[in-house]
Chains A and B, each alone.
Chain A
Amino acid sequence: MNKQEKAVVTVVGKDTVGILAKVATQVANANGNIIEVTQSVMDEFFTMIMLVDVTALTCPIYELEQALKQTLPGMEIHVMHENIFNSMHSI
């Protein structure tokens, strides 16, 4: 089972200082490796998509989501396995 497993982290909400840093810290705490980040701020509205290698994650994906939500209350945060998006949006 050496297959690389990836998860997609999405964060949406009002822009404040340090969102990316807090997300990155939590991901690192769970031993996730950030592969790619896209982020934009429009009219103080922050959106971010982060692709994380979760092969060696020390906790289940949903716990990472819980941890992120606790760190960034008020933001809409989802962490989902990449396979879901793969199967839905590519043939």
Chain B
Amino acid sequence: MYSFSEIMETISMIRDNNLDIRTTTMGISLLDCADTDIDRACVKIYDKVCRKAGRLVEVGNSIERKYGIPIVNKRVSVTPIALLAGVSGGDPVKYALAMDRAAHAVGIDFIGGYSALVHKGFSAGDLEVIETIPQALAETELVCSSVNVGTTRAGINMDAVRLMGRQVKAAAERTADRQCIGAAKLVVFCNAVEDNPFMAGAFHGVGEADTVLSVGVSGPGVVRSVLAGMPADAPLDEVAETIKRTAFKITRVGQLVGSEAAELLGTRFGIVDLSLAPTPAVGDSVAHILEEIGLEQCGAHGTTAALALLNDAVKKGGVMASSSVGGLSGAFIPVSEDAGMISAARAGSLSIEKLEAMTAVCSVGLDMIVIPGDTTPEVIAAIIADEAAIGMVNSKTTAVRVIPAIGLREGEELNFGGLLGYGPVMKLRTQSPARMIQRGGRIPAPLQSLKN
């Protein structure tokens, strides 16, 4: 039998330190829903999502009850809609509406995949989907959208970057009366992954099976509390070792829940995403882990190094714990979703430049950052280009999810509610990158793309 301390450790992780499963995400391929008649394709999409994911919420709830571990979100990701729009033509917003209806029907929290992969160029359907993203996000509630504008192998499609600068702004403008929520559901990627279970960037890659079930764990609170129990002068290699051990345990729970859910749903188990995903709840913050490592506040010099240590230790612990690891896998630093980041941003100790540096050493990128409402599309495009360059050169996924706070200025705040959180408008540089952005074209793939 287990020792008393083992048992109490597990119980306190779950009951006191917010260990939970952030999401169980079912990936559903829509390739067999493609049709030259867009209305018929929409009916097929609705039917397939309802058929495959109909029991997702029920199974999630039953596992939640069985193990006493909260599964915070149940989500669906689908094949990038641009592929279907390319076959059908017509107004792609119809697809978004069909996805939204299906998501409501099965009771999930989000559905991702109003997406286009345009890192090397635009093909049929891509431009149509990108042009309609702001409208689709404004007219739906649960649909999330993503666009991949660059990869290490292909370079960066700067025409797409320019376009996305405009669309991010437009998505916020269209939902200005709803805290600009449109932009919070839109991610621009470099090196997007096909099996990411996290929103808003989840889509179901064409290399995936017909349906898979993937899991994203959470647990920054657990890591922080374990570190808090260490001596304050423990060397950093011991800190890393402790994080590794904790990440192992957290991931094991993800593996357990994921494989059991997949079995109950009669689908293939996809991956566990080894990410520390924060929530705005107190005690569930990645920033607070960094502060526990020994920073006065997140954003101080040393933050990048502490985050690099954390990110690496989480992966090392997690990879042994799961039969199949994938997705984004690393520490997330979404500003508005992390209580510690929010206070650091409010206090002015966390700047966008520091966040950019942090994205070079952890998963994803400039995430959930509220920017001034009068930011020009060119500046947004330039932020995307900077972030994509970091991803391209370092062969890692990077993303931009910034929310222009229409009508608000620096220091004022947006509040999205729920997991998306709240945050102050952060200061950007105002010098214009317009001439570079207007050049368009492509940033060629770096030398590290030539691996063959």
Contacts and interface: CB of A to CB of B under 8 A. Distances in A.
Given A36-B1, A61-B65, A62-B65, A84 B8 contact: no
A88 B14 CA distance: 12
A61 to B, nearest CB: 6
A38 B6 CA distance: 14
Contact of B1 (A51, A60, A80): A51
Given A8-B2, A78-B15, A88-B252, A83 B67 contact: yes
B6 A89 contact: yes
B65 A85 contact: no
20 contacts: A10-B11, A38-B1, A47-B4, A49-B1, A49-B2, A49-B4, A51-B1, A78-B15, A80-B10, A81-B66, A84-B14, A84-B67, A84-B256, A87-B253, A88-B252, A88-B253, A89-B2, A89-B6, A89-B10, A89-B249
Given A84-B10, A85-B2, 9 more contacts: A36-B1, A38-B1, A47-B4, A49-B1, A60-B65, A83-B67, A84-B67, A88-B10, A88-B253
Contacts of A84: 10, 14, 67-69, 253, 256
Contacts of B249: 88-89
B7 interface: yes
Contacts, number: 58
Given A51-B1, A78-B15, A80-B11, A85 B6 contact: yes
Given A61-B68, A80-B11, A81-B67, A87 B4 contact: no
Interface string B245-282: 00001001101100000000000000000000000000
Contacts of A88: 6, 10, 249, 252-253
Interface residues of B, number: 20
Given A49-B7, A89-B10, A80 B255 contact: no
Contacts of A89: 2, 6, 10, 249
A49 B2 CA distance: 9
Contacts of B69: 84
Interface string B47-74: 0000000000000000001111100000
Contacts of A38: 1, 4
Q: Give the 8 A-B CB pairs with smallest separation, nearest first.
A: A87-B252, A87-B256, A88-B249, A89-B6, A85-B2, A78-B11, A81-B67, A88-B252
Interface of A: 8, 10, 36, 38, 47, 49, 51, 60-62, 78, 80-81, 83-85, 87-89
A29 B423 CA distance: 51
Contact of A8 (B7, B252, B253): B7
B219 to A, nearest CB: 12
A36 B1 CA distance: 8
Interface in B1-46: 1-2, 4, 6-8, 10-11, 14-15
Interface string B341-373: 000000000000000000000000000000000
A78 B14 CA distance: 11
A91 B253 CA distance: 12
Interface in B225-261: 249, 252-253, 255-256
A59 to B, nearest CB: 11
A83 to B, nearest CB: 6
B67 A80 contact: yes
A83 B256 contact: yes
B66 A61 contact: yes
A85 B343 CA distance: 35
A56 to B, nearest CB: 15
Contacts of B2: 8, 49, 85, 89
B46 to A, nearest CB: 33
Nearest to A83: B256
Contacts of B6: 85, 88-89
A62 B66 CA distance: 7
